[in-house]
Amino acid sequence: MSGGDTAPRVVEDLFGIVQILSDATVVRSDEPVLQPKEAYPDVPGVQWKDVVYHAVHGLRVRVYRPAPLAGSGSSKLPVLVYFHGGGYCMGSFTQPYFHSFCLRAAQELPAVVLSVQYRLAPEHRLPAAIHDGAGFLSWLRGQAELGAGADPWLAESADFARTFVSGVSAGANLAHHVTVQVASGQLAVSPVRVVGYVLLSAFFGGAERTAGETDPPADVSLTVEMSDQFWHMSLPVGASRDHPVANPFGPESPGLALVDLPPALVVAPGSDVLRDHVRGYAASLKKLGKAVEVAVFEGEQHSFSVLRPFGEAADELLRVLRRFVYTATER
């Protein structure tokens, strides 16, 4: 070989999990940072299985359904679509944090929970993940149209007319965008009916710093630097944090005044550098006259629902979620 060393070098590193090399190659390793130190307890009485919803991209959904309640008059349950977190760059529906929360949600709501895999950046920069979320809802529409010919668990247990779209962190961001697509008529999902959406520790951003970012709380699980890096590695190259995916009420974003959004539950942890973005989102919805419930969890970190899925705050969150789901379905 002539010349100097031409081996690609690392130009961007995300926790050693995702590295971008100088030749634009992406190297991805295991994600120990997202594995709990101790095994979580099982949740008895909940069945789960993985189903492929997009064969070309190899994308799966994990389907959870609880055992029928004794004496229940109907076997059909609300459907909770759930998108995992990870800054659009890492995370998996299979990881114990997300898996345990979904097990609990299926049992305690109760509901059919659908935990959706989507493509990750930087290999697949945004809006790829949002396209996958929309694609999943199209798959779900197809299942609803099949009736008794749908996946047996969905045919037996899912009430498609009581569907909620939810997610945590980046998954909450994704839930917002696909819900807007449905509510604005861009994405046809009937006979699926989205009657509410749930944002848990939503991953929003903006070019202008908020008070929570300039003077962050102590002991945060997500730092400003981490948030910035996630956006830098997931947004289209050259985009700022005012990109419509990051900042849904920013200067580059389409207006939502005429969009008939379903009721929203916005969960805002108090010890989160993104708390002002989350509360600002809810305030903007209220200003537009949208139905929104804000549940503030003071002292809790970003993504507390999955970082401590068996903690007291998660217990309370599931009670709030249950009330929201069953109130919305009674409207």
Over residues 159-172, the pLDDT tens digits come to: 999 999 999 999 99
Return the pLDDT at 1. 42
- pTM of the predicted protein model: 0.95
84 counts as catalytic = no
Contact 177, 170 (CB under 8 A): no
Residues 60 and 114: their CA atoms lie apart, in Å, by 10
pLDDT digits (tens, 9 = 90+) for 15-47: 989 999 999 999 998 765 557 777 888 899 999
**Averaged over 257-276, what is the pLDDT?**
98
Set 54, 176, 234, 272: catalytic member: 272
Estimate the crossing angle of helix 170-183 against helix 128-146, to 10 degrees. Answer: 60
169 counts as catalytic = yes
Residues 187 and 138: their CA atoms lie apart, in Å, by 8
Return the pLDDT at 33. 56
Confidence band of 69 (pLDDT split at 50, 70, 90):
low
* 70 pLDDT above the threshold of 60: no
**Averaged over 77-82, what is the pLDDT?**
98
pLDDT digits (tens, 9 = 90+) for 207-262: 999 999 999 999 999 999 999 999 999 999 999 999 999 999 999 999 999 999 99
Query: Which pairing describes strands 264-271 and 292-301: parallel, antiparallel, or unpaired?
Result: parallel
Q: How far is CA 158 from CA 52, 140, 276, in A?
A: 17, 11, 36
Q: Pick the closest to residue 43 from 97, 106, 137, 109 (CA basis).
A: 106
Set 99, 302, 303, 305: catalytic member: 302
Set 166, 169, 271, 305: catalytic member: 169
